[in-house]
């Protein structure tokens, strides 16, 4: 019976998902027909049929209808029939927001009498403390469990706030009271945005701020034609610069107050809100961000401010690069955040890597000597070599000193998620001079006498170095690594060194492709010593090496990770044109030209020969 119930629930969910897409193609008059069918069930005395009918209406009601204002007036009366629980509000606010988005000229005037009750319901949904002795608690108003599949989303409270923000933004206009009600609501809730006055209401208030900013930025983009949407905006009123300034003056102080929280989730949500506000009114937002950013990163006595500033830089990198002096400021941030790779703070390390990847996706790392004549040479470029060396040494220092990077340890999870992607972007965006210096530095750290404990993560760095500069990296890494595994053709006496450096060899070959050809004989000798060894501790690592070698010969890989299209680079990997104009530029999808490294006939022939050479001994061992 339980299986049948679950199957039926999934069938219903599939039907509802299909209805969401199909309702756009319903014929004219379908809304009236659906209402005629469901209207007899809008009776609160038959709760189960009433709730089911309301939920089905929210799913099947089409966006286009003959009399949107009349339909809204009728549905508003139905919404007022029962106590406003989260699920109940979610159903109707979903309908109201869709009607305001697709029929603004008819619906927005009809929605004005309903706005006071809507904002009051939103305040109760958020749940800020009030002076009442017995305040309304929408979360205590139950919803039948067997009808849960009819409610969109898993968290009704959060989805309520999301739908309400969408509806509020699409009702903004000179003749709408939305601004006044929103200002009143925010003035009442303003004390609860402070980090010292947090509670159950905090996440909903932050969601209100971030989603108001996001939906406003989306509406501005839709009206300007910058966003592709299924249905065009039909509103008679377009938002103006004065509207944007008013929004920023209302939301930015509260957002900056909440941004001072010590909670990383709060900092992330508010940084997203600051980014959206900056996109609609950069002159009002970006200067304030610039004022607070560097002092916060330098304030090592308040680590939560450092993490917040790093997160904000990651979110707003493109906006910061557009302002005058933004590139030099980003250079200062790069130098200050080397310390963000912190052995004792995995969270800060994760946010630092994310911030650096966000910056590197828009800022090519060029040595001044590599730039063409006539190109601008910002002051930031003259410190890049020193910064790159410090960053490489800092990462290796963390890997040398982390006591345990086994599964389940948080620092290990952070490095697994970010380290390889960071070094791909870090080395891929470099000019030839910088990349050569970085690869030499990495090779020296990898081939030193002491073996760091984190072989998996050091291997990620080696893999990225070979991918970015295969010929130079293999020349610096393969001969010494082969000598450390099997000097003179015999295995090294140190078991730990054999296992460690065999692992490093595998990462060298994982994306080497045809560039490993000059070292083929030496590599096959090492593989023969290790993979075919009688002791499992050696053969296991040797077989991994063999698999990675074959994978490197036959894999198809993207050619590079650089931020600019191929036409902006010359044959030597140097930017064509002015450097400053290339910063803060991201390729639109229409300009993307992804090249691939295809296995050559020589690679395929070598792979076939290796399989033939080692398959017979392997089968003999199995037999």
Three-state secondary structure of 103-142: CHHHHHHHHHHHHHHHHHHHHHHHCCCCCCCCCCCHHHCC
**Is 159:90 a contact under the CB 8 Å cutoff?**
yes
pLDDT of residue 1: 38
Which tokens in the block code for residue 398? 């963390």
**Is 32:65 a contact under the CB 8 Å cutoff?**
yes
> Stretch 117-140: mean pLDDT, rounded?
71
pLDDT exceeds 50 at position 508: yes
CA dist., res. 265 & res. 303, Å (int): 15
pTM (global) more than 0.75 = yes
Residue 200 main-chain phi, psi, to 5 deg: -65, -20
pLDDT exceeds 90 at position 440: yes
What confidence tens digit (pLDDT) does each residue in 54-75 have? 888 888 888 888 888 888 999 9
pLDDT exceeds 70 at position 222: yes
pLDDT band with cut points at 50, 70 and 90 for residue 134: very low
Counting beta carbons within 10 angstroms of the beta carbon of residue 343, is it exposed (0 to 12), middle (13 to 18) or buried (19 or more)? middle
- Distances in whole angstroms, Cα of residue 362 to Cα of each of 150, 167, 281, 329, 583: 44, 35, 22, 14, 6
- Which stretches of 481-520 are assigned E, i.e. beta strand? none
pLDDT band with cut points at 50, 70 and 90 for residue 416: confident
Q: Which positions ≥6 away from 253 have C-beta within 8 Å? A: none
CA dist., res. 99 & res. 381, Å (int): 53
Q: What's 558's DSSP letter?
A: E
CA dist., res. 503 & res. 485, Å (int): 10
Counting beta carbons within 10 angstroms of the beta carbon of residue 32, is it exposed (0 to 12), middle (13 to 18) or buried (19 or more)? middle
Angle subtended by helix axes 282-298 and 241-259, to nearest 10 = 20
Candidates 243, 153, 130; CA nearest to 207 is 153
* Three-state DSSP state, 375: coil
Tell me which of 580 and 335 has the higher pLDDT: 335
> Stretch 274-301: mean pLDDT, rounded?
88
Q: Are strands 557-558 and 596-597 parallel, antiparallel or unpaired?
A: antiparallel
Which tokens in the block code for residue 492? 């090294």
CA dist., res. 465 & res. 459, Å (int): 10
pLDDT exceeds 80 at position 198: no
Lowest mean pLDDT among 69-83, 421-435, 447-461: 447-461
What confidence tens digit (pLDDT) does each residue in 147-196 have? 655 565 567 788 889 999 999 999 998 888 999 999 999 998 888 888 87
Domain ranges of the chain: 502-561+593-622
Which tokens in the block code for residue 344? 């004792």
pLDDT exceeds 80 at position 438: yes
pLDDT band with cut points at 50, 70 and 90 for residue 442: very high
**Is 551:510 a contact under the CB 8 Å cutoff?**
yes
């Amino acid at each position: 019976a339980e299986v049948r119930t679950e199957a039926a629930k999934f069938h219903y969910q599939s039907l509802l998902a299909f209805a969401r897409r199909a309702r756009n193609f319903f014929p004219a008059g379908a809304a009236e027909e659906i209402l005629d069918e469901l209207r007899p069930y809008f009776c609160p005395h038959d709760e189960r049929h009433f709730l089911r009918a309301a939920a089905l209406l929210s799913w099947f009601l089409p966006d286009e209808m003959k009399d949107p204002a009349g339909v809204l007036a009728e549905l508003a009366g139905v919404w007022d029939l029962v106590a406003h629980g989260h699920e109940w509000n979610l159903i109707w606010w979903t309908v109201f927001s869709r009607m305001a988005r697709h029929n603004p000229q008819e619906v927005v005037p009809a929605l004005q009498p309903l706005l006071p009750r809507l904002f009051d319901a939103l305040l109760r949904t958020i749940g800020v403390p009030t002076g009442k002795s017995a305040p309304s608690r929408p979360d205590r108003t139950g919803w039948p469990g067997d009808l849960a599949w009819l409610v969109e989303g898993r968290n009704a409270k959060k989805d309520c706030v999301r739908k309400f923000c969408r509806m509020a933004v699409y009702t903004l206009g000179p003749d709408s009271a939305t601004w006044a009600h929103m200002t009143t609501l925010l003035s009442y809730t303003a004390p609860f945005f402070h980090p010292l006055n947090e509670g159950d209401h905090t996440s909903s208030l932050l969601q209100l701020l971030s989603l108001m900013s996001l939906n406003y930025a989306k509406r501005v983009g839709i009206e300007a034609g910058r966003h592709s949407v299924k249905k065009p905006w039909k509103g008679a009123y377009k938002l103006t610069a004065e509207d944007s300034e008013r929004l920023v003056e209302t939301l930015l102080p509260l957002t900056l107050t909440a941004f001072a929280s010590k909670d990383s989730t709060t900092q992330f949500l508010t940084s997203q809100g600051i980014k959206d506000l900056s996109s609609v009114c950069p002159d009002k937002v970006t200067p304030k961000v610039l004022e607070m950013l560097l002092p916060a990163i330098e304030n090592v006595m308040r680590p939560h401010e450092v993490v917040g500033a790093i997160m904000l830089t990651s979110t707003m990198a493109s906006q910061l690069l557009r302002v005058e002096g933004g590139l030099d400021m980003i250079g200062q941030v790069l130098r200050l955040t080397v310390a963000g790779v912190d052995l004792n703070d995995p969270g800060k390390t994760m946010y630092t890597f994310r911030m650096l990847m966000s910056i590197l996706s828009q800022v090519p790392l060029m040595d001044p000597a590599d730039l063409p004549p006539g190109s601008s040479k910002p002051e930031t470029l003259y410190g890049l070599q020193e910064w790159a060396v410090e960053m490489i040494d800092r990462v290796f220092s963390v890997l040398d000193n982390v006591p345990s990077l086994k599964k389940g340890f948080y620092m290990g999870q952070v490095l697994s998620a970010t380290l390889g992607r960071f070094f791909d972007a870090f080395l891929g965006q470099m000019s030839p001079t910088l990349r050569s210096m970085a690869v030499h530095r990495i090779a020296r750290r990898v081939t030193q006498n002491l073996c760091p404990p984190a072989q998996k993560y050091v291997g990620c760095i080696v893999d990225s170095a070979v991918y970015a500069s295969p010929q130079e990296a293999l020349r610096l890494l393969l001969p010494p690594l082969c000598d450390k595994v099997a000097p003179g053709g015999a295995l090294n006496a140190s078991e730990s060194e054999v296992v460690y450096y065999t692992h490093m060899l595998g990462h060298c070959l994982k994306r080497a492709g045809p560039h490993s050809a000059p070292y083929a004989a030496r590599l096959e000798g090492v593989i023969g010593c290790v993979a075919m060894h009688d002791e499992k501790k050696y053969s296991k690592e040797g077989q991994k090496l063999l698999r990675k070698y074959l994978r490197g010969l036959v894999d198809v890989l993207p050619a590079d990770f650089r931020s600019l299209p191929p036409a902006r680079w010359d044959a030597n990997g140097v930017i064509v044109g002015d450097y400053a104009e290339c910063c803060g530029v991201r390729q639109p999808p229409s300009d993307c030209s992804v090249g691939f490294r295809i296995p050559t006939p020589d690679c395929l022939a070598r792979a076939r020969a290796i399989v033939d050479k080692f398959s017979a001994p392997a089968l003999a061992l199995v037999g």
